[in-house]
Amino acid sequence: MNRQMRRLQAKEEARQKKQGQQPTKKKERTGVRQFFHEVRAELKKVTWPSREELQTYTIVVFGVSTALTLYVFALDWVFTHGILWVLENWT
């Protein structure tokens, strides 16, 4: 914990004492079993895509990745050959 956090924590404890409240204690860690129980409960809340949506998204990702790869390759090829042409003909 750095100095700034310690100062903020001390100010918060002083404020709570002034108001007559008990200082907040650190929360205890949950067990592994409780953690996985909560993870499972959260995953049940997720709206998973249908098979058709998943296929569509996969095709879009591959298509965009291929297009960007070709675009970057083309730029690299043009700049490489352009610079070599300039250096060969400049002298």
pLDDT in single tens digits along all 91 residues of the chain: 678 878 888 888 888 888 776 656 667 787 899 999 999 999 999 999 999 999 999 999 999 999 999 999 999 999 999 999 998 888 6
- pLDDT value at position 69? 98
Q: What is the pTM of this model?
A: 0.51
Residues 6+ apart with CB under 8 A from 17: 23
- pLDDT value at position 16? 81
User: What is the DSSP code (8-state) at residue 19?
Assistant: T
The amino acid at 67: A
Residues 6+ apart with CB under 8 A from 16: 22, 23, 24
DSSP character string of 50-68: PHHHHHHHHHHHHHHHHHH
User: What is the DSSP code (8-state) at residue 26?
Assistant: P
